[in-house]
Amino acid sequence: MLRLGLTGGIGAGKSEVSRLLTGYGAVLIDSDRIAREVVEPGTPGLAAVVTEFGPEVLTGTGALDRPKLGGIVFGDPGRLRALNAIVHPLVRARSAELETAADTDAVVVHDVPLLVENGMAGLYDLVVVVDASPGTQLERLVRLRGMAESEARGRMAAQATREQRRAVADIVIDNDGPLERLEPQVRKVWRELHEGRGGAATE
């Protein structure tokens, strides 16, 4: 099993790289998706969040009100640490379960947006960073996601810098250009991963 940690700044195109790798045969473990699953209604995770932050973080249907919770923790490091102390262990445990279920010869891609921020680079065999310039990130967030420029800049500023991400990278995928330039790079990485293990890549 080869364990890859995949990360990149918001708007860099990490999700597209995940999609391509999955298409080639990688097993994807998506930390963001798991983080949502562990606080779904009826889970111990949601119960712990309500205990910590109060019932006002629930919607009328009993689901987590993410914008409301975000408003509480964004800009308050202490409250954010309290939330992370609940969610991160649950995400790690579920990620470990999914990894254990994968084939022993699988390439397992852990899609972790805050890999650098949480000091997780050492947990993986290789770290793959999807890289784009801050200008490209900003343009994509405003044009493709409809964010206000001030919100986009705030989200970017809250993450690790481009230099910090590149410093932990074993592999850098340049996604500063159009989408059609991305796929050949990802395919090349996939082939090199298999060649390095003495196997042939499948697509």
| pLDDT tens-digit series, residues 114-158 | 899 889 999 999 999 999 999 999 999 999 888 899 989 988 988
CA–CA distance, 157 with 178 (Å, rounded to integer): 24
Domain boundary among 68, 103, 138: 103
In the predicted model, is pLDDT for residue 84 greater than 80? yes
Whether the predicted pLDDT of 198 surpasses 60: no
- The three-state secondary structure class of 194 is helix
Residue 197's pLDDT band, with cuts at 50, 70 and 90, is low
CA distances from 73 to 59, 60, 114 (A): 17, 21, 16
Q: For residue 113, what pLDDT band results from cuts at 50, 70 and 90?
A: confident
Considering the domain architecture, whether residues 14 and 68 belong to the same structural domain is answered as no
Do 119 and 168 belong together in one domain?
yes
Of the residues 69, 103, 137, the one at which a domain ends: 103
Residues 36, 93, single domain; the answer is: yes
Whether 110 and 3 have beta carbons less than 8 Å apart is answered as yes
Q: What does each C-alpha distance from 115 to 42, 59, 86, 127 come to in angstroms?
A: 28, 30, 17, 9
Whether 192 and 121 map to the same domain: the answer is: yes
Residue 119 and residue 41 in one domain: no
Total domains, the chain: 2
For the cut 70, the answer to whether the pLDDT of residue 203 exceeds it is: no
- pLDDT tier for residue 196 given thresholds of 50, 70 and 90: low
Q: Residues near 127 by Cβ (< 8 Å), separated by ≥ 6?
A: 4, 5, 6, 7, 115, 121, 168, 169, 170, 171
Q: Which domain holds residue 69?
A: 32-103
CA–CA distance, 111 with 109 (Å, rounded to integer): 6
Predicted confidence at residue 179, as pLDDT, reads 81
For residues 98 and 110, state if they share a domain.
Answer: no
CATH code (residue 74): 3.40.50.300
User: Does residue 203 lie within any of the structural domains?
Assistant: no
Work out the average pLDDT over 163-178.
93
Radius of gyration, alpha carbons of the chain: 18
Strand extents, DSSP E, 14-146: 27-30, 107-111, 126-131
Q: Give the angle subtended at the CA of 109 by the CAs of 135 and 151, to the nearest 5°.
A: 30
What pLDDT is stored for residue 101 in this prediction?
A: 93
Check residue 98 and report its DSSP letter. Answer: H
Residue 80 clears pLDDT 60, i.e. is over it: yes
Helix axes 44-53, 77-101, angle to 10 degrees: 170
DSSP at 64: B
pLDDT of residue 202: 40
pLDDT digits (tens, 9 = 90+) for 34-52: 999 999 999 999 999 999 9
Q: Is residue 84 part of a domain?
A: yes
Considering the domain architecture, whether residues 56 and 155 belong to the same structural domain is answered as: no
Q: Are 95 and 110 in a shared domain?
A: no
Domain boundary among 103, 130, 158: 103
Average pLDDT over every residue of 14-38: 94
pTM: 0.84
Residue 59 confidence (pLDDT): 94
